[in-house]
Amino acid sequence: MKTLQEQYNQIKNGKGSKEIFLKEAKSKYPYLVRNAAGFEEASSALIGRNIISEGIYVTTGTNEKPDWFKLFDKNMNLIAEEDVKAVSNKVSKEVTDLQAPEKGYDYKSDKMLDNVSGEQFRQGYYTELTDEANADKTKQELINLVIKNLDSNPLYYVEDAQFGIKGIGYTEDAPALGKGKQVKDPGVGGGYGEATTKDFPDGEVGTGYLELNESTSIKLVNLLESTPLGEKPKRRKVRAQAKKETPDSKLAEIEKNAKIATLEMQIEALEEIIESKNERISMVTEDDNLAELIDKAKMKEMQKEIKLLEKKKANIEKIYEKMCGKAYKKVVTELNPENIKEEETISESKFQAGDMVRLKNDDGVGPKFAVISTRKMFASKLHAVRVTDENGKTSEYDETQLELAD
């Protein structure tokens, strides 16, 4: 089945059926084509909504689909030919004929009024007109005098008669004027450097840009092949100069260090509190006898309190990181191994697993207990001793409450 576009093209060529086209257009686009619409109205509505097109391509003038790649290559070849003509050193015959004095206008003669700079002529005419030495000259004589001066030097009235006054003008032959000589790099600290006898390279001083001749042609292809297109220039590293210390800066530094020390102390205090509460919770949960006696509501309240302390600690650490530029890291002091060994020896429990012990205050007549295990008590140098009696019931005492049984 042919599309509406194909049917429209055939109708334009005198081959298609308008009735079939209208029937299909009304069935597919009832909101665009009304039932009473004819062929012209229906096709105009569909063309207006870009559903169909006239089918004639502007580039080729036919209803055949053009070969865009072929057309592009053809146009590029035409552009290349025009470029060759533009940069050609040979002047065409038409141009030479127009430049010939006997056939056209003489563009090269600087002795003609229309070939000199209008601004320079205006300034020169004013200068010669106001000069008392030319008071007896006619208008044409003044014009001829100005053209003669501009013919000898196009900048005559800039260098020798600026502002309408003869004898003054722009010059580079004066102290501090002109390009001067190159200077050595002063190095660290800056300054003017030392003068040399070397002239500056061609181009504008400080930029190095050269003036382009009229015959010079720059191509984008050459730029792409010879330069790193899109690459950003490398920045020179500038050494940061040390700031001079002032009383205000010293006080500000002391205040900043004090705030940092305060934050560190707050973080360490919160860490100790959180660790203490976690150890108390773990001690209770590990002991079945104590777990039965603890109020679960208070246990949850303590766990909630720990979470709030951890959140507060995290906020202080963020402030610390923002102020110092780095995250907080706890400083761990390395201890001497001999001191550690000595400390461990001192803090070692005097009871071992399997020892038989009894309470100190039972006068030697109380029941005996067997030691199951020992552990160091929190925030204390003492040890907790876990024991069991002859019935299998376990209990825990600190080591000062017990003694070895006979």
DSSP for residue 357: E
| Cβ–Cβ < 8 Å for 328, 267 | yes
More confident residue, 212 or 262: 262
Task: Tell me whether residue 241 is in a domain.
Answer: no
What confidence tier does 225 reach under pLDDT thresholds 50, 70, 90?
A: low
Q: How far is CA 219 from the centre of its chain?
A: 31
Nearest to 305 by CA among 338, 280, 342, 341: 280
Say if residue 47's pLDDT is above 70: yes
DSSP for residue 58: T
Which residues, including other chains, have CB under 8 Å from residue 244's CB and lie 6 or more apart? none
Q: What does the pLDDT read at residue 342?
A: 42
Task: Tell me whether residue 73 is in a domain.
Answer: no
Considering 289, 324, 359, which residue would you say is the last residue of a domain? 324
Per-residue pLDDT tens digits for 287-341: 666 666 667 788 888 888 888 888 998 888 888 888 888 887 776 555 455 544 4
Same domain, 107 and 150: yes
Say if residue 254's pLDDT is above 70: yes
Same domain, 317 and 352: no
Strands (E) in 178-302, as ranges, are 181-183, 195-199
Rounded CA-CA distance 145/113 in Å is 11
How many structural domains does the chain have?
4
CB atoms within 10 A of CB 156: 19
What's the whole-number average pLDDT of the chain?
75
> Percent of the chain, pLDDT > 90?
0
Please tell me which of 20-24, 55-59, 224-228, 288-292 the model is most confident about, judged by mean pLDDT.
Answer: 20-24
Strand partners, 371: 387
Same domain, 316 and 253: yes
Same domain, 99 and 148: yes
Rounded CA-CA distance 372/402 in Å is 14
Amino acid identity of residue 218, one-letter, is I
Q: What does the pLDDT read at residue 323?
A: 84
Say if residue 370's pLDDT is above 80: yes
DSSP for residue 399: G
What is the reported pTM?
0.28
Considering 164, 189, 216, which residue would you say is the last residue of a domain? 164
Q: What does the pLDDT read at residue 345?
A: 43
Q: What residue numbers bound the domain in which 355 lies?
A: 344-404
Q: What does the pLDDT read at residue 87?
A: 60
| Pick from 96-100, 220-224, 402-406: least confident | 220-224
Same domain, 318 and 350: no
What confidence tier does 62 reach under pLDDT thresholds 50, 70, 90?
A: low
| Pick from 17-26, 252-261, 339-348: least confident | 339-348
Rounded CA-CA distance 226/145 in Å is 51
What confidence tier does 104 reach under pLDDT thresholds 50, 70, 90?
A: low
Rounded CA-CA distance 245/258 in Å is 19
Q: What does the pLDDT read at residue 341?
A: 46
Say if residue 369's pLDDT is above 80: yes
Q: What does the pLDDT read at residue 232?
A: 52
- CATH number for the domain spanning 381: value is 2.30.30.30
Say if residue 108's pLDDT is above 50: yes
The position carrying tokens 């002391």 is 254
Please return the burial class of 355, using the count of CB atoms within 10 Å of its CB with bins 0-12, 13-18 and 19+. middle
Task: Tell me whether residue 388 is in a domain.
Answer: yes
Same domain, 277 and 320: yes
Say if residue 40's pLDDT is above 60: yes
Same domain, 363 and 301: no
The position carrying tokens 């391509």 is 57
DSSP for residue 67: -
Same domain, 137 and 104: yes
Rounded CA-CA distance 347/349 in Å is 6
Same domain, 319 and 349: no
Taking residues 381-385, report their average pLDDT.
85
Q: What does the pLDDT read at residue 215?
A: 46
Same domain, 350 and 383: yes
Amino acid identity of residue 16, one-letter, is G
Please return the burial class of 52, using the count of CB atoms within 10 Å of its CB with bins 0-12, 13-18 and 19+. buried
Rounded CA-CA distance 109/151 in Å is 9
Distances 183 to 173, 180, 189, 194, 209 between C-alpha atoms, Å: 20, 9, 15, 5, 19
